[in-house]
A and B are shown apart, each in its own frame.
Chain A
Amino acid sequence: NAGVTQTPKFQVLKTGQSMTLQCAQDMNHEYMSWYRQDPGMGLRLIHYSVGAGITDQGEVPNGYNVSRSTTEDFPLRLLSAAPSQTSVYFCASSYGGHTTEAQYFGPGTRLLVL
């Protein structure tokens, strides 16, 4: 049981390039989310999904796209990278939408946009 996995661990992009951050979980969780974490700020929700085929925007969705074709995978796409997207990105999953559910996080992807 690998939990939540993310690839790559590190990435350097030039402004304008696109890329996909991969996220997978093997816990059969319905809920998956993408967050970014910047110094001095709490984790901010980018996009989330409540099940395969269903996605919705979080607090900071601009510049990012997601899709959820399977329960296991939830990739995050940067359409045209900007320096403001330099951050640490975490993918998370949880079993269901109960109010007491906690989330399991992947190890993160550190992204630098030049």
Chain B
Amino acid sequence: RKEVEQDPGPFNVPEGATVAFNCTYSNSASQSFFWYRQDCRKEPKLLMSVYSSGNEDGRFTAQLNRASQYISLLIRDSKLSDSATYLCVVNNGKTSYDKVIFGPGTSLSVIP
């Protein structure tokens, strides 16, 4: 089993739709979790960290379920500008980045 797995995608949704991505991780000792966004042929950029209690940033909501070992990202009222690849990132280390694992990403296309 891969350490971090994501919905294969691509997700094609109309503007205004709500879309959710899931990401599962295999290491129960994982310390921290992030969602990054990567536009085509660009670098990844942090979208949001994922906290144990769940967190929201505008139209974006991230949830963590430690018992089932998955994190989720919900995008409400999708915009054309949300079209990108969304990377799930899990940090298995306590203090260093040698245990940061990136998922393969899920592609989202928001259609007019």
The one of A42, A50, A103 in contact with B96, judged by C-beta atoms closer than 8 angstroms, is A50
Residues in B lying within 8 Å of A, measured CB to CB: 4, 31-32, 34, 42-46, 49, 87, 91, 93-98, 100-105
User: How many residue pairs, one in A and one in B, have C-beta atoms under 8 Å apart?
Assistant: 58
Considering the chains assembled together, what is the distance between the CA atoms of A99 and B31 in angstroms? Answer: 6
> How many Å from the CB of B17 to the closest CB on chain A?
26
> How many Å from the CB of A59 to the closest CB on chain B?
8
**Which residues of the other chain, A, contact B91 by a CB distance below 8 angstroms?**
99
Residue pair A103, B103 in contact (C-beta under 8 Å): no
**Does A31 sit within 8 A of B, measured CB to CB?**
yes
**Which residue on chain A has the smallest CB distance to residue B44?**
A105
What count of chain A residues pass the 8 Å CB interface test?
26
**Does A33 sit within 8 A of B, measured CB to CB?**
yes
Considering the chains assembled together, what is the distance between the CA atoms of A33 and B102 in angstroms? Answer: 13
In A90-114, the 8 Å CB interface with B consists of: 90, 94, 97-100, 102-108
The one of B87, B94, B100 in contact with A45, judged by C-beta atoms closer than 8 angstroms, is B100
Considering the chains assembled together, what is the distance between the CA atoms of A99 and B29 in angstroms? Answer: 12
**Which residue on chain A has the smallest CB distance to residue B99?**
A45
**Which residues of the other chain, A, contact B93 by a CB distance below 8 angstroms?**
97, 99
Residue pair A106, B43 in contact (C-beta under 8 Å): yes
Known: A40-B104, A99-B32, A99-B91. A105 touches B45 (CB 8 A): yes
**Which residues of the other chain, B, contact A2 by a CB distance below 8 angstroms?**
none
Residue pair B95, A42 in contact (C-beta under 8 Å): no
> How many Å from the CB of B53 to the closest CB on chain A?
13
